[in-house]
Amino acid sequence: MQTASGSRGGSSVPGSPVRPPRLRSPFARAVVPVVGGMAILALIFLGTWVMAAFISRGGADTTSRLAPPVFQMGSVTARADSIDQDGPIVLADLHTTRGDRTLVVDHEGADPLTGWRVFWGYPADRDASCPVTQVRGTARFTDCDGRELDVTELARPDGVFPTVVDSKTLEIDLRAVTTPGAPTPTTLG
């Protein structure tokens, strides 16, 4: 059977004078689709890399886009009630310039607007290599040596401050431990 162009057989696009290339050898039929697939994967990888470079704007350091310097805890009343019922809130594995650290947020007193304090998740007489585990529902912790400690016996972080914003929201200011070389904020006394 002859086509309109006068050639025999083959699959051409109807209405097109151009025939698609035909791979004749088994080697070409095996290699060309693999190379084409690799080219598509390379384009996807390149696109992902370009997007990541754009998002980070070339910087490899942690930025506020990826790790905010202020951690919002939510309602002061809800957090104070939660701590009153279940003990301090443990914020595990926060990324800081000193490595991944655990913060413990505690509240004392009846007024949810005051009495907020933070501690590292290790004893004051040890370093971060001795993490503590909270005794459920209490303000007590067990350290790496099995000692039971009160929340006040945990290490105090320099430059980490709980702040109440607009008499409603609790925030933990982490700038001193998330931003290299950041000045330590001062508190109003």
DSSP 3-state of 18: coil
DSSP 3-state of 170: strand
Q: Which of 77, 33, 52 is nearest to 166 (CA)?
A: 77
Q: E strands within 49-179?
A: 70-75, 89-96, 99-107, 116-120, 133-134, 140-142, 148-150, 161-165, 169-173
Same domain, yes or no, for 34 and 88? no
User: Tens digit of pLDDT for each residue in 141-178?
Assistant: 999 999 999 999 999 988 888 989 999 999 988 776 65
pLDDT at position 89 is: 92
User: Tens digit of pLDDT for each residue in 131-140?
Assistant: 899 999 899 9
Range of the domain at 111: 70-178
How far is 138 from 141, CA to CA, in rounded Å? 8
- Average pLDDT of the segment spanning 39-50: 95
Measure the CA angle with vertex 106, ends 100 and 109; round to 5°.
165
Q: Which residues contact 176 (CB under 8 A, 6 or more apart)?
A: 157, 158, 159, 160, 182, 183, 184, 185
- Average pLDDT of the segment spanning 68-75: 83
**Structural domain includes residue 11:** no
Same domain, yes or no, for 56 and 131? no
Same domain, yes or no, for 25 and 107? no
Higher pLDDT, 174 or 31: 31
Same domain, yes or no, for 43 and 104? no
pLDDT at position 100 is: 62
